[in-house]
């Protein structure tokens, strides 16, 4: 299990407040040839920390949170208190997304001696099971093609 995977597994342990998941579908005009796209907008980032937000898109429970088996990956620079990871050319289907605010650019989650995350993280649909690893089914989003925007709060 990679450190990023371990971080995401710790989501269930963190005591965090919730934010409503609000998917928004934007249909492409028939006259355009825009690719299927999922935009994962993250808010509540600690902008003063700088760094990069790294996101991974997963297709099923079997691969969920195994970074070596992610379906797609994306990254975004932190600007102000938000960032957006964009996944392009995504076929319609069921997906879940995990994000890490990699403040120091080492591509690893920084944790305290107790294993508590020191860098931000987020899961699609703001899934956070406090007693165990987040479930794929509870974090899953249905993507029907076109353009989709989904949002989550970055947790620290």
What band does 32 get if pLDDT is binned at 50, 70 and 90? Answer: very low
Inform me whether the pLDDT recorded for 145 exceeds 70. Answer: yes
Domain count, the chain: 1
pLDDT on residue 89: 97
What band does 7 get if pLDDT is binned at 50, 70 and 90? Answer: very low
Inform me whether the pLDDT recorded for 123 exceeds 50. Answer: yes
Q: Tell me which H or E stretch contains 139.
A: helix 136-139
Looking at residues 76-91, what average pLDDT do you find? 94
- What pTM did the predictor assign? 0.76
Looking at residues 91-117, what average pLDDT do you find? 90
> Six-digit token pair at 58?
């997963």
pLDDT on residue 29: 39
Q: Which residues pair with 58 in a beta bridge?
A: 96
- Average pLDDT in the chain: 80
The closest of 156, 142, 49 to 99, measured between CA atoms, is 156
Looking at residues 149-154, what average pLDDT do you find? 96
Q: CA–CA separation, 151 vs 122, rounded Å?
A: 10
pLDDT on residue 26: 38
Q: Find the domain containing 71 and state its range.
A: 3-153
Inform me whether the pLDDT recorded for 134 exceeds 70. Answer: yes
Inform me whether the pLDDT recorded for 144 exceeds 70. Answer: yes
Inform me whether the pLDDT recorded for 17 exceeds 70. Answer: no
> Six-digit token pair at 44?
């509540």
């Amino acid at each position: 299990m990679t450190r990023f995977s371990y971080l995401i597994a710790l989501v269930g342990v963190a005591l965090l407040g919730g934010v409503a998941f609000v998917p928004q579908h934007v249909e492409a005009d028939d006259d355009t040839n825009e690719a299927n796209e999922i935009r994962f907008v993250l808010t509540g980032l600690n902008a003063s920390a700088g760094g990069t937000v790294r996101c991974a898109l997963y297709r099923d429970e079997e691969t969920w949170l195994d970074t070596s088996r992610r379906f797609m990956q994306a990254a975004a620079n932190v600007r102000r208190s938000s960032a957006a990871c964009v996944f392009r050319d995504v076929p319609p289907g069921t997906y879940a997304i995990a994000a890490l605010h990699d403040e120091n650019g080492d591509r690893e989650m920084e944790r305290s001696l107790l294993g508590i995350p020191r860098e931000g993280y987020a899961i699609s649909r703001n899934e956070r099971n406090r007693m165990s690893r987040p479930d794929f089914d509870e974090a899953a989003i249905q993507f029907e093609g076109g353009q989709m925007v989904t949002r989550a709060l970055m947790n620290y």
